Each structure stands twice: as structure tokens, then as C-alpha cells.
Amino acid sequence: MAGDTRRGLGAVLRFLHDRGVVPGEDLVDANAAEALLAEYRRWLTTERSLAAESVRCYANQASKFLAELADPLAASLAGLDAATVTEIMVRHSIRSASVWSAKAFVTAVRSLLRFLHVQGLIPVPLTGAVPTVAGWRLSSLPRGLRGGDVDALLAAHDTATPVGRRDHAVLTVLARLGLRGAEVAALRLADVDWRGGQIVVRGKGSRVERLPLPAEIGQAIAAYLTDGRPTCACASVFVTARAPYRSLSAMAVRAIMGRACQRAGLPRLGAHRLRHTLATDLLRAGSPLAEVGQVLRHRSQLSTAIYAKVDHDTLRTLARPWPGGAR
């Protein structure tokens, strides 16, 4: 809503400026951050080849950093130094709700500072002034859901309505294939190979991979496409329920998951929880870690290694006895 307000204000200021009601400097100051973020998004897309969802996340975090700078923005950037950068980062980290949030901010700000230096908007490279957030790999435990909870989520929507059929199909893909929310949102009609029984997934780093299309997923998608999806020119599988029809965003997928949790009587959970659940269920069913990594399409075995901690029976065989015997 805030972004829409700023864009609307910019249009009003342009109108008034063209008629000489307000001076040009006011227009520049009002739109400086938005214009800079637009250039930053283009740079992430064209120069860094980031996916649309990554661009959205980076720009969202970058806007928080720019909001910490004083007006006029150009002067603040020209005088930006390492001490100011570190102060902003520490202040934001204290306010962060989680380690993950702080790390996301750090990553985005480092990217933004590289962009600003390349564009000549800051005098020196300042990425080294961004402190690292303390965190230990594999320290957390992946949290999966119980089988009954997954079934409750899949049954949460009214499949007699078009929106219910869409949301049910979205959750079925998340739960049975372990896709990320952004990957589900990016599915295109041409990605579903009905004859070959496969589906094309566009993952992180612009990777394109083919996965099998189980009958349950095919039936859910087909039910939505034939009796629920509006007729439109959008090439995405899942589109908005109201015109103008456009592809669902990763945020919309999270909202679908949130509504399903509410209807199923569960606390609000992220769509990624279904990915964790699929991985832990596969491991407990006897699948080796290598196969779990293939299903999740991990590039590194380290990304899959965290799921070893949920296999308690196997871990017990590795545990050494307590010195001196049990007490």
C-alpha cells in the first residue's frame, strides 16, 4: 500500500510540476528513492540475472536501508561512509524479528552498495562495512508437519468454487513435490507435459528441471484449469481470481497457505513448511539423504544434511555411551 501511495504521489507531483505549481527540486526529492530502486531492480535483472522474486526481496530490503538516509538522498549517498553503514546495520539487526531477517537485510544491503559504487553514487566500496550476522549452519532443526495436518491443509479449501480449486491445486503442488512458493507461482501452462507425465520447474539460479507429475497433482491442476481458471492471455498456470488477470506472486502463495492454516485450525505457517515435511517424510520412509536432496533439487549435500537430525533412530546407533554408564 505504501508503494502505491508513493507512486500515486509522484504522478500528482509531475502533474503540478508540469504546470509550474511546484518546483522541480520537490519532484526530484519525492521520487529519488523510487527512481533509484527502479534502476537497482533493472541492474539485478539484467546484470545479475536474478529471478523476479529475488529482485523483489532485494529491492524491498534495499528500500529499508535507503529510508535510513537523510534527505536529499543524493547528498547522503555522496557522503556515505563506513561508520554510517555499520550504524544502520546494527540498529536494524537489533530490531529484526529473527536471524533470518537480519541475514536477508545484510545480503541485500551488500548487493545495493555494490550497485551504488558501480553507478558512481557512493565514493568508495562499502560492502566491507556491513557486519556479518552470527549464525551457525545446521544449528536448527527442520520442522515438519504431522501427516494429519497436511491432509487437513489440503482439505481446507472449498473445491466447489474456482478459487478453492486453485488454492487446493497450489497446496497440492507444494506438499507433494516440495516446490518453493516462488516456483509454484512461476509455473507456466507450457511447463505441464500431460503426455509425458512431467512438469518443468524453474528454480533458484535460473535452473530449469523436470520432475514427474504424480496423478494427484495432475488431477488437482486439471480440475482448476478446466473448471476454475479464467480465460485470459496470461501464460501462468495459477492466476489471480479477478481481472486484470496476472500470475500469482510468491506472496500470494504464502497468503493461500495462511488461509488454509486458519481454516484447518493450525497456527499460521509458511509454505516452506510443506517442503520440510516432504523431506522428513521421505527420510523416515527409508530414503537416503542423496535421494532427498534430488527431490528437493539441492545443489549442495550440505543443504540436505540438516534433515539427518530428524532421523532419531539412525542417530541413536551413532551415539556414544555416556562415560561411566547411565545414571
User: Is 275 marked active-site?
Assistant: yes
CA–CA distance, 22 with 24 (Å, rounded to integer): 7
Task: Say which of 157, 180, 273, 297 is annotated catalytic.
Answer: 180
Cβ density class 201-227: b for 16+ within 10 Å, e for less = bbbeeeeeeebebeeebbebbebbbee
Residue 195 CB coordination number (10 Å): 5
User: Is 204 marked active-site?
Assistant: yes
Beta strands 192-193 and 208-212: pairing type? unpaired
Asked whether 137 and 158 are in contact (CB, 8 A), the reply is no
Task: Say which of 14, 272, 284, 309 is annotated catalytic.
Answer: 272
CA–CA distance, 252 with 289 (Å, rounded to integer): 31
User: Is 309 marked active-site?
Assistant: no
Task: Say which of 40, 58, 224, 307 is annotated catalytic.
Answer: 307
User: Is 180 marked active-site?
Assistant: yes
Q: Contacts by 152-158 with C-beta closer than 8 Å and gap 24+?
A: 152/264, 152/265, 152/266, 153/257, 153/260, 153/261, 153/264, 153/266, 153/274, 155/264, 156/259, 156/260, 156/261, 156/263, 156/264, 157/259, 157/260, 157/263
Task: Say which of 41, 204, 263, 284 is annotated catalytic.
Answer: 204
Task: Say which of 166, 275, 276, 297 is annotated catalytic.
Answer: 275
Residue type, 116: L
Q: What residues act catalytically?
A: 180, 204, 272, 275, 298, 307
